[in-house]
Amino acid sequence: MKCPKCQTDNPDTQKFCGECGTKLEIICSNCGCNNPPQYNFCGECGHNLILPSELAPKDLSLDEILKKLNLTSFMLLVNSHTIEKIRMQRVWLDKKVRKRQKTKARCWTG
């Protein structure tokens, strides 16, 4: 296991780093519980400690933030346009259905 403080590789059976003396433990990415280095699963919640945990989100540069904002704005614009188009089609279809129902009603009443 790699020491979180000095990055020295230590055998999985050790409880403390052989180089700097830091306590070696695996912190569960699911519940935050400390686990001995030899554990494969969290003793608290059973989460797999061997699988790589999700990467922490990196800090975005100003350019990346602006790109995301522009993309989000574009997506909102497209979505609102699509929603409006669907609404208009529904209104048109409802009118057609009502007109057809009126025509059928006239036919039945003669």
pLDDT in tens, 15-64: 889 999 988 888 888 888 988 888 889 999 999 988 765 544 567 777 77
Same domain, yes or no: 7 and 28: yes
Number of domains in the chain: 2
Contact 43, 35 (CB under 8 A): yes
The helix or strand, by DSSP H or E, that contains position 78, with its residue range, turns out to be helix 62-109
Domain range for 1 = 1-53
Kindly report the pTM of this predicted structure.
0.38
Same domain, yes or no: 64 and 45: no
Read off the pLDDT of each residue in 97-110 and give the average, rounded to a whole number.
74
Same domain, yes or no: 102 and 64: yes
Same domain, yes or no: 73 and 98: yes
Kindly state the tokens that stand for 57. Answer: 């989100």
Residue 62: C-alpha distances to residues 65, 70, 75 (Å): 5, 12, 20
